[in-house]
Structure 1
Amino acid sequence: MATATSKAEAIALKDKGNKAFKEHDWPTAITFYSQAIEKYDSDPAFYSNRAQANIKLEAYGYAIADATKALELDPANVKAYWRRAIANTAILNSQAALRDFKIVVKREPNNKDAKLKLAECEKLVKRIQFAKAIEVGDPPSAFQDLDIDSIQVPSNYDGVRLDDQMTQEFIDDMIQRFKDGKRIHKKYVYQIIKAVRDIVYDEPTMVEVEVEPKTTLTVCGDTHGQYFDLLEIFRLNGFPTDDHAYLFNGDFVDRGSWSTEIALLLYAYKWLRPGYFFLNRGNHETDDMNRVYGFEGECKAKYSEQVFRLFSESFSALPLATLIGKKYLTLHGGLFSDDKTSLNDIRNLNRHQQRQPGQSGLMMEMLWTDPQPTPGRGPSKRGVGLQFGPDVTKKFCENNGLEAVIRSHEVRMEGYEVEHNGKCITVFSAPKYCDTTENKGAYINIGPELKLDYHKFDAVPHPDIKPMAYAQSSLMSMM
């Protein structure tokens, strides 16, 4: 039974959590809120505050559970309804979000922001229902009627011209154009996307690479539209060459407001050096996420809806994993619900039969799962996928002759983290994520000896355009 002393100690811990939250140190905030709950588990504010910190860390499943607990303790807690609605919106559970937004508006009829979010959520639900109603089993290719050769680039176009092959000169010019806030001509956008779609379509679901003598392979995690931080990686670590290969492990787009710039630059390098530049698909290279988190809106704002459709088709062609030197399986999310899953299962997965990952299956798990510190498997903190423990990782590595699994998918305050007794490595390459999280970015250099060399870096200044500038605005409450 809680005492007055334990309650006072819990409030002091909550205050420490609030301080960490204000400093944008979400993991520390969660630690303090959790300690407060251990001392005194009957204060709804502790759960509601932890829900908001979990939202910041994209642990939406945990946020929903915390908000629900807060409402069990206090059914009139409007903040808890609001946070549960935001978390459900984030995992595209729009019907549940709609119910909670309606309750917020009913309890606070003069809350203009709540009314706006309710209206947006109602539109989203209708949009999803309409999309399902017109869905066809095997849609025609977005490239089918695209006559790129007939498109003329005007004589007054002030950038480097592109013929039928990518050049370093074009890439150098494109990098500068994007820094200056300019775009490339739509013909070149079409050429780049089509060339890369064709290249990656023919790659295996799990690309297998060796690190040759006197070469380096750099593995980068999520970049999420943070174009200027991507350029900082290249400035610090060197631009891609035939002696310096790169692997980008998914989530190139969404959230950050230079997602088209990142996607086009990475694609241009893939076209220029297809055997030395590798791209794994992430959970944000998917239609559902792109429609909510900004990439679709950005494509329409900067180019056209057709450009989004072309990117969407190219994303569905991307490999899902890369095996480095037969020692490191690199994939965006993590491991699997079945201990019997092997590298051969990944090799044999026909990703072209299923363009989007869905809610279950091997592709979904490769894109969505996360590690947990405790043994076994647990429900997803995100509300999608699952979590896997150190014993799962150990068994998978032993069964498949691996040194470790390298994955991304989650913010790490130091840019990377080595977990599961060294067998599970997370690398995240978007520092000061969404301009709100005080995390570093990181990348991993791997030489011919297959040793992992970790590098951390800080965010760099960027033009005054906010993250999620092109996203569904109901998610802005999460920023």
Structure 2
Amino acid sequence: NALSLFFSSLKTTFSSVVRVRPNDKDAKMKYQECNKIVKQKAFERAIASDELKRSVVDSLDIENMTIEDDYAGPKLEDGNVTLKFMKDLMTEEITICGDTHGQYYDLLNIFDLTVCNVYIFINAIYTHRDFVDRGSFSVEVILTLFGFKLLYPEHFHLLRGNHETDNMNQMYGFEGEVKAKYTAQMFQLFSEVFQWLPLTQCINNKVLVMHGGLFSEDGVTLDDIRKIDRNRQPPDSGPMCDLLWSDPQPQDGRSISKRGVSCQFGPDVTERFLEQNKLQYIVRSHEVKAEGYEVTHSGKCITVFSAPNYCDQMGNKGAYIHLRGSDLKPEFHQFTAVPHPDVKPMAYANSLMQMGMM
């Protein structure tokens, strides 16, 4: 404790010197060394006294992260994300460019096309169904989306998809991309944040939005969904798995999913769920559609897919939806892919996955 107090006092002293003489490199270096020691001592005390699982955030030393003198990119204002910061971030050429399942440039195109106060990204907004994987600019996409979440926390909503999970990120590229552009610790931080993303959103008690679809069994209520422990990697079955993985089918009933997990659900399943929960329809993603969207189950199940020319191969349109009026009638808007730098999809994926794209 005495040693910690000593270095804490030194830190305060050097901090005062740095404020008075900001160009004094020796003082700045000594301040950083003292600060590092103080944090290390605090960390050791925490480990000794606290057996609870610690967040990756606690191990980040943000204060001592250095920014190169010649850095001319986006800058926070007093530590806060601003609209100017987000505009600078989206046009910043230093960012590693790419697609968004990581189709980043198509994501920017959506922002250009939409004039809307509330964005709901159904974790398929830019790549195969979800925020990340497959496309090689997932980092740019997710940082842009998180930035807007910080800028408009009450109006900008992000939902979790089946690709906001560790096993998918390991296979389809996001883990490799983050490690190539940043560090393994950074991927752990993303993984931790993904686990806190909501699984669904209910709009005006009329429309339920999720990534995958409905459930393997009848009787699931909105209260049941609220009670799901989402802060984890998803299980192989159950409501959490279904919300991330299931798909609609044209015939009544349920069948085994072609994906090997969860199920396919028919119009009768959708009708019963909506009636029980007093909802009008559901909006989901999870499947590429030639026109960018598809309306099924007598208008009560809508699929929207926002990654045009998916993986630079599919030739599909992208789409987004505007919900208008008290009845939340959906309006569909289609768009096509925009040019992007010549970095191929799956560039950071597991080598076996890359072979599958050839």
TM over 0.5: yes
- Report the alpha carbon displacement of residue 304 of structure 1 after superposing the two structures with TM: 1.3
Which residue, out of 269, 277, 282, partners 1:400? 277
The secondary structure found in structure 2 opposite 1:298 is helix
Structure-2 residue corresponding to 1:182 = 95
- Alpha-carbon deviation of 1:458? 0.5
CA contact (8 A) 1:377 1:387 kept: yes
The Cα shift of 1:363 comes to 0.9
TM-score (norm 1): 0.60
Name the structure 1 match of 2:344.
466
Is the aligned partner of 1:312 residue 2:191? Answer: yes
Q: 1:475 aligns with which of 344, 353, 357?
A: 353
How many angstroms apart in 2 are the aligned matches of 1:290 and 1:183?
Answer: 18
In the alignment, residue 118 of structure 2 is paired with which amino acid? A
Match of 1:326 in 2: 205
Query: What are the residue-to-residue correspondences of 1:60-459 with 2, within 5 Å?
Result: 140-162=54-76, 163-177=78-92, 180-182=93-95, 224-238=101-115, 244-250=117-123, 251-352=130-231, 355-449=232-326, 450-459=328-337
Q: What CA distance in whole angstroms lies between the structure 1 residues aligned with 2:61 and 2:355?
A: 42
Distance 1:456 1:351 in 2: 32
- Give the whole-Å Cα distance in 2 for the aligned partners of 1:442 and 1:266: 18
Counterpart residue identity of residue 460, structure 1? V
Cα distance per residue 1:256-300 (max 9 Å; x no partner) = 011000000000000000001000000000000001100000001
TM-score of the superposition, structure 2-length normalised?
0.80
Return the offset for 1:338: 1.6
Contact 1:223 1:429 survives alignment (8 Å): no
CA distance in 1, matches of 2:249, 2:220: 19
5+ long unaligned stretches in structure 1 = 1-137, 185-221
Q: How many Å separate the matches in 1 of 2:96 and 2:315?
A: 30
Aligned equivalents of 1:183, 1:422: Cα separation in 2: 40
Q: Equivalents in 1 of 2:53, 2:170: separation in Å? A: 18
Check conservation: 1:337, 1:386, Cα contact below 8 A: yes
The superposition leaves residues 195-226 of structure 1 with CA deviations (integer Å, 9 ceiling, x where unpaired) of xxxxxxxxxxxxxxxxxxxxxxxxxxx95110
Residues 252/369 of structure 1: CA separation in 2 closer, same or farther (3 Å cut) = same
Letter of the 2:353 partner, please give it. L
For residues 229 and 343 of structure 2, the distance between their equivalents in structure 1, rounded to whole angstroms, comes to 39
The AA in structure 2 aligned to 1:395 is R
- SS state of the match for residue 426, structure 1? strand
Would the alpha carbon gap of residues 223 and 428 (structure 1) be closer, same or farther in structure 2, given more than 3 Å must change? Answer: farther
- Distance in structure 2 (CA, Å) of the matches to 1:265 and 1:168: 11
Q: CA deviation at 1:150?
A: 2.6
* Distance in 2 separating the partners of 1:369 and 1:325: 24
How high is the sequence identity, in percent, across the aligned residues?
A: 55
Structure 2 distance, partners of 1:147, 1:154, is 16
- Equivalent AA in structure 1 for residue 65 of structure 2: I
Instruction: Report the alpha carbon displacement of residue 448 of structure 1 after superposing the two structures with TM.
Output: 3.8
Quote the RMSD (CA, aligned, Å): 1.7
Distance apart, 1:173 and its partner CA:
1.1
More helix by share: 1
| Matching of residues 5-24 of structure 1 within 5 Å | none
